[in-house]
Structure 1
């Protein structure tokens, strides 16, 4: 059984899901706990650990990276260790391989005896495994409370909603019965269909089941959020989960870790060229376009995006994922002649880009993003307004919440998910240039005091560490 150290310091193990949108926030939380002198065992695969940004030298005595090899799984491409390395239809094999880590994780817990293990939704089997060893467990959700609350209590996630016997998706796009307050938050039917396509197969546990079993089997739930941002949803999650739910703050980038993106080559030489281009642009004129490490537009979406970006007339910096790993056979292509026509006006970057540095530049006037929380947080931390184009049901929930709070503008889509280049161009011009879009620019500046507030982050950390320290057996 894990015991507290004589000096009052904790040993916390962390096991994020194999996606950089999860690995990076977990690492940020690990670094914050390490600054207080607590020992962290950060567990992942060798390739993923190699690709993580370096930690400050002052923290190296406190953070130990534990490398565990993924088991071989049929149909999982060689050297694929994160969702970034795979097309959507092969991510299920990564989850199956991840399930094969039960024995090495159990061996690590037996020999290391951490006080806590903080883990992700995918490792739904970890709660009972750690409990048998007397180790406390917490699920850390990189998703905000709005998503957790909308999806419902663990029994619904595990067994389904008894009021939805026919699996009718039109029911879930209404306000769920467990949400007691008025809200316009919901995923579109199009995104539900798309999301279900990647999760409904007989080879793998669904993400919804994994989430439900993870919540059901843990001792506490930590959420990347704050009560200042989504009080109603955090209180709802507390009521639905019937266990401690603790917001850990937004984990904003700090001055010594501004490049905590996926810097595969640990090489920042491209920044000099990028800065020279940004320096030539007018203040507040550039659109930064990126959809995270996982979201890859379809060919149709890419074409509409390119035409809309061309139509809006604004300078742009576009981080484009056109292929997810070597096994992705559906390489998307920009319209013929697009890059030639945009030469000088815009940059298309197909490699890692120093996102925080780019967003910090005065010439960047706004973001076109998928509504992933890491990009939302960085944008608001720097006071940049947001235009949203979600690519999944989870991103839809984030986006509709931000729109409901009048914090961002979402590109209009038809019921089949289609959108016109004109709609995209109008949304970008509204938020970045037009006088009518002042509300979005003003709101973004207001959000700087919340999303970049170190006092709020420090308070969240103190409350988290107090809970961790006082709850161990």
Structure 2
């Protein structure tokens, strides 16, 4: 596994590493020191088969000292992080050279030998020639939904159908031959064009993704499955002219295994508060670690939660470092006292999830726990995910201004009440649970990993 720089990417890469290790394969997980330290430790029983190797991220002018992931920088500096990331080419080449030069069968656990595969994130534009030099097969592992890749499309289709205007980015791509929800609203489409232009790294994001066409890329691996995204896998295999293999959702283990609150006092207080709430009475609110949320967004979300009269627990992350008491409406804490807790926590009392609809959040909340969704997408694939889940009637999207994306607290409140209250809320809960039982089937999800291993053996 080659280094990744976004926690929404790193965690699925680590989950895939652990599953491959459980099947007897040796995995070298490559990242940077600070990122590796922030990831959960590899379970002791897998530590002999998953080795973490760190490479120092080069300094780049304008990038804050110690920044190694998108969680460490404001949005305007993410492209500088990509420039620093590209500086890992030389140390990564040296690591691969070392492994290939060792030869032989390696140690008892399969290390110190030529790798059979390099499994990459989309950004590793520099890894392909290294793999080609050493005749190592590559797979690109995409942690976002298959719909996002379908929207991006292959290079030849984009050249045949160029997107030049905002309206072009709002339309369903012509290479998707069936009705779908794969399109963006105007405020979302406006954020897509920059991905097609070179950024501070000198490379456009779309050009990094289009390394899927490189001869060394033998497989495209997707953190998804046909039950979650019907009809897309055969289409993608046709569009990219190579196997597009579902790895499954790579759901973590039991909730207890993921509980990292430990003895933190605020965590324990939140747990006690939730223990006193009726079953399915609380809406959990979290907009991810890196959503592009403004102070106005926070204020309107706070107003909406207050107006909804629904108990909530809020994983609050302040935009631009603003303190909650400054960003939230005046008197907010006093008025919701006893009804709202502004902390991060998962609990059985949770009845719905108000989310930015990142794929990891949808996977965790809906496909793992069966919670219906109140959806407030901001960037990237989030709008596509929200449309798809709304079409499957497992959640409600908060209404927004079609052009600028603004929203009102009253609309947040209405969406929360719709999903949480009355017969309509019960119906959302029922459909979400039904979908979770199909998509979150643990046996079938593990079978996808087994099938991926078969592909890796066949195509190496």
Give the alignment's TM-score, normalised by structure 2.
Answer: 0.90
Written as runs of structure 1 = structure 2, the 5 A alignment for 1:391-406 is 391-406=378-393
Match of 2:165 in 1: 168
1:221–1:133 distance in 2 versus 1, CA, 3 Å? same
1:243 partnered with 2:242: yes
Written as runs of structure 1 = structure 2, the 5 A alignment for 1:143-222 is 143-156=144-157, 160-164=158-162, 167-196=164-193, 200=197, 202-204=199-201, 205-216=203-214, 218-222=217-221
Give SS of 1:15's match.
coil
1:374–1:386 distance in 2 versus 1, CA, 3 Å? same
Q: What's the offset of the Cα at 1:423?
A: 1.1
1:449 partnered with 2:447: no
Q: What's the offset of the Cα at 1:215?
A: 4.8
User: In the aligned structure 2, how far is the partner of 1:138 from the partner of 1:172?
Assistant: 28
Match of 1:6 in 2: none
User: In the aligned structure 1, how far is the partner of 2:317 from the partner of 2:128?
Assistant: 35
- Asked if structure 1 preserves the Cα contact closer than 8 Å seen for 2:282 and 2:312, the reply is yes
User: In the aligned structure 1, how far is the partner of 2:16 from the partner of 2:58?
Assistant: 27
Match of 1:420 in 2: 408
- Given candidates 374, 379, 389, the residue that maps to 1:387 is 374
Q: What's the offset of the Cα at 1:466?
A: 1.1
- Given candidates 433, 453, 463, the residue that maps to 2:421 is 433
Written as runs of structure 1 = structure 2, the 5 A alignment for 1:303-322 is 303-322=299-318
Match of 1:336 in 2: 330
Give SS of 1:118's match.
strand
1:268–1:200 distance in 2 versus 1, CA, 3 Å? farther
- Asked if structure 2 preserves the Cα contact closer than 8 Å seen for 1:317 and 1:348, the reply is yes
Q: Deviations over 1:319-371 (max 9, x none)?
A: 111146x8x99x9822232223222211113xxx4x5xx1xx22111000011
- Given candidates 355, 370, 376, the residue that maps to 2:356 is 370
Written as runs of structure 1 = structure 2, the 5 A alignment for 1:12-23 is 14-23=1-10
Give SS of 1:92's match.
helix
1:77–1:111 distance in 2 versus 1, CA, 3 Å? same
- Asked if structure 1 preserves the Cα contact closer than 8 Å seen for 2:198 and 2:205, the reply is no
Q: What's the offset of the Cα at 1:436?
A: 1.9
Structure 1: gaps (5+ residues): 1-13
Match of 1:232 in 2: 231
Q: What's the offset of the Cα at 1:73?
A: 0.3
Q: What's the offset of the Cα at 1:406?
A: 2.1
- Asked if structure 1 preserves the Cα contact closer than 8 Å seen for 2:295 and 2:319, the reply is no
1:215–1:139 distance in 2 versus 1, CA, 3 Å? farther
User: In the aligned structure 1, how far is the partner of 2:353 from the partner of 2:255?
Assistant: 23
Give SS of 2:118's match.
strand
Match of 1:9 in 2: none
Ranges of 4+ aligned residues in structure 1 off by more than 4 Å: 195-202, 265-270
1:228–1:198 distance in 2 versus 1, CA, 3 Å? closer
User: In the aligned structure 1, how far is the partner of 2:200 from the partner of 2:42?
Assistant: 37
Computed over aligned residues only, the root mean square deviation of the Cα atoms, in angstroms, reads 2.3
User: In the aligned structure 2, how far is the partner of 1:449 from the partner of 1:290?
Assistant: 23
1:199–1:332 distance in 2 versus 1, CA, 3 Å? farther
Structure 2: gaps (5+ residues): 100-113
Question: Relative contact order, CA 8 A, sep 6+: which one is greater?
Answer: 1
Match of 1:27 in 2: 14
User: In the aligned structure 2, how far is the partner of 1:139 from the partner of 1:339?
Assistant: 46
- Given candidates 280, 283, 291, the residue that maps to 1:284 is 280
Give SS of 2:190's match.
helix
Match of 1:409 in 2: 396
User: In the aligned structure 1, how far is the partner of 2:299 from the partner of 2:337?
Assistant: 17
Q: What's the offset of the Cα at 1:387?
A: 0.9
Q: Which moved more, 1:407-416 or 1:72-81?
A: 407-416
User: In the aligned structure 2, how far is the partner of 1:174 from the partner of 1:208?
Assistant: 18
Match of 2:92 in 1: 105
Q: Deviations over 1:224-263 (max 9, x none)?
A: 1112221311121111110111000011121287317xx6
Give SS of 2:363's match.
helix
